[in-house]
Structure 1
Amino acid sequence: MLKLAAALFSFTALLYLGACGYLYANQRSLLYYPTPAAPAPGAERIALRSDGETLQILRAGPAQGSALIYFGGNAQDVSRLIPLFVKAFPGRSVYLVNYRGYGGSSGSPSEAALLRDAVTVFDFVRSRHPDVAVIGQSLGSGVAVFLATVRQIARLVLITPYDSIETVAKNSFPQFPVSLLLKDKFLSSTRAASVRSPTLILLAERDEVIPRASSDALIASFHWLRPVVEVVGGTTHDSVCAADACLKRLADFLHG
């Protein structure tokens, strides 16, 4: 009986270690869901070189004046937001970023790569416009928070944000040592303490992806300026950004 128990324990341990190995080796394919290139009527396509890769940036609206950079969510086709943003922000030049591997951009996504690319995109846009606001949704909220710690952003908007990808992953895989396995942690709550830009945080009332506790932890971590926080009623994680109430609140906040 003891031999059988030991054999079962060894087998279970091997299965567990194998699962940990699989998660470690394939974690980026589980974290990132690149979208294919899509038509973008009404937008200018900008091929921007960053760290040896080419990013496909979509620009819409007036060429001059204030600008807005949008870092989208995972598996999101940012081109679909063009008509909504052009209508909601008629006075701004809008830049929608396709991450590495997304929307025709070359390369493969990782946290380090996305953060480097964000700085490249911001510096390019800032060279053309007197002030630049930034919106980050879901995955993009981690990119936007980082950018706000290394560049002067006029206004920062975070939609359905998290305190860290590590926290979200722990919620999804509680049986695994996520802290040891995860490469791309996007520690937004650590970085938020350094953000000095006026910040608006919009939460979906029925967010089924980001736990509310994760968003609340991020909100509590701001130090210099307390963010304005609002819940958009009747919305889910994927529907909030296109909701009329969300777009109106964004327009009011960006207008100052």
Structure 2
Amino acid sequence: MLKWLILGLVVYLGALAYVYLTQERQIFNASSIQTPLDFPCYPCETLRLEVASDVVLEGLHRPFKEAPVLLYFGGNADDATRILLHLNPALAVEVVAFNYRGYGKSGGQPSQEALFADALKIYDTFAKGRNVIVMGRSLGTGVATYLAANRAVQKLVLITPYDSIRALAKASYPYFPIDWLIKHPFESTHYMSYVTAPVFVVEVEKDTVTPHKHTLALIEKISHLALHVTLDQTTHGEVLHAFEKESIMKKVLTF
């Protein structure tokens, strides 16, 4: 009996170690980006931003005169610059999209602390004093919410958002001490309490990555919900195609 208890304890501790040591790979899944990073975009220009010593982020900028500037933050397996493939070129919006550290051609290693700090620097460099729309998808909704809580923005757009990575991890590993293990909690519900801008929420029906209850927990913290759309006939991974088809960005701009 004691032998089985010891074996069970060893297996459990091994599972804890696995979750702790692999969480960066699970949260920041840059290795899953399989599509080519280069694609036609006109008129676009490549951006480079030094965010730390020897750490440079690379992104794309689509100019549009006398228009709001959209700052976009992608999902955990996204090339963020490809948001430009899902925005109608005729939309009156300037776009700035950088890849996270370790994603695409950006240097460095991703972490919650790094993504939050980089988002502030991107805003201060390209959007300060402007009419700013912040948009995030999946993992990026946590970054976008943090930015909207700490800088003046006019609109916040969240695509397949969650309440926190901590809460998602607890749901996936209910018998693990997640509060002790998690290094990148992305507590969107906390930061949402400080967001005063109108918020636009887009979720997909039967989302298996960010289930509805986690989106609902975030919505309950929103003081000004401008739009809440649930898209059917799509998935978490394909949501940007439906986002484009439903012309949701046009609704955001005309709000």
Partner of 2:175: 175
TM-score, normalisation: structure 2: 0.91
Matched, 1:12 2:8: yes
* Alpha-carbon offset, residue 227 of structure 1: 4.5
Which structure 2 residues correspond to residues 235-254 of structure 1 after superposition, within 5 A?
A: 235-243=234-242, 248-254=247-253
SS at match of 1:243: helix
Matched, 1:57 2:59: yes
Which structure 2 residues correspond to residues 59-98 of structure 1 after superposition, within 5 A?
A: 59-62=61-64, 64-87=66-89, 90-98=91-99
Partner of 1:31: 27
- Distance in 2 of aligned mates of 1:205 and 1:188: 21
Partner of 1:234: 233
> How many residues are matched?
249
- Distance in 1 of aligned mates of 2:104 and 2:146: 22
- Distance in 1 of aligned mates of 2:136 and 2:82: 16
Partner of 1:154: 154
Which deviates further from its counterpart, 40-49 or 140-149?
40-49
Matched, 1:112 2:113: yes
SS at match of 1:95: strand
- Alignment-mate amino acid for residue 126 of structure 1: A
- Distance in 1 of aligned mates of 2:161 and 2:47: 27
Gaps of 5+ in 2: none
- Alignment-mate amino acid for residue 25 of structure 2: S
Which structure 2 residues correspond to residues 119-158 of structure 1 after superposition, within 5 A?
A: 119-127=120-128, 130-158=130-158
- Distance in 1 of aligned mates of 2:196 and 2:136: 16
In the superposition, relative to structure 1, how do residues 245 and 233 fare at CA in structure 2: closer, same or farther (>3 Å)? farther
SS at match of 2:225: coil
- Alignment-mate amino acid for residue 71 of structure 1: F
- Distance in 1 of aligned mates of 2:246 and 2:94: 16
In the superposition, relative to structure 1, how do residues 244 and 196 fare at CA in structure 2: closer, same or farther (>3 Å)? closer
- Alignment-mate amino acid for residue 40 of structure 1: F
- Is the contact made by 1:65 and 1:130 (CA closer than 8 Å) also made in structure 2? no
Aligned-pair RMSD on alpha carbons? 1.9
* Alpha-carbon offset, residue 215 of structure 1: 0.3
Which structure 2 residues correspond to residues 180-219 of structure 1 after superposition, within 5 A?
A: 180-219=180-219
Which deviates further from its counterpart, 74-83 or 16-25?
74-83
Which deviates further from its counterpart, 204-213 or 137-146?
204-213
* Alpha-carbon offset, residue 84 of structure 1: 2.3
- Is the contact made by 1:154 and 1:197 (CA closer than 8 Å) also made in structure 2? yes
- Is the contact made by 1:57 and 1:97 (CA closer than 8 Å) also made in structure 2? yes
Matched, 1:221 2:217: no
TM-score, normalisation: structure 1: 0.90
* Alpha-carbon offset, residue 62 of structure 1: 2.0
- Distance in 1 of aligned mates of 2:65 and 2:91: 11
- Distance in 1 of aligned mates of 2:166 and 2:236: 18
- Is the contact made by 2:141 and 2:158 (CA closer than 8 Å) also made in structure 1? yes
- Alignment-mate amino acid for residue 228 of structure 1: L
Larger Rg: 1
* Alpha-carbon offset, residue 18 of structure 1: 1.8
- Distance in 2 of aligned mates of 1:221 and 1:90: 30
Partner of 2:45: 44
Gaps of 5+ in 1: none
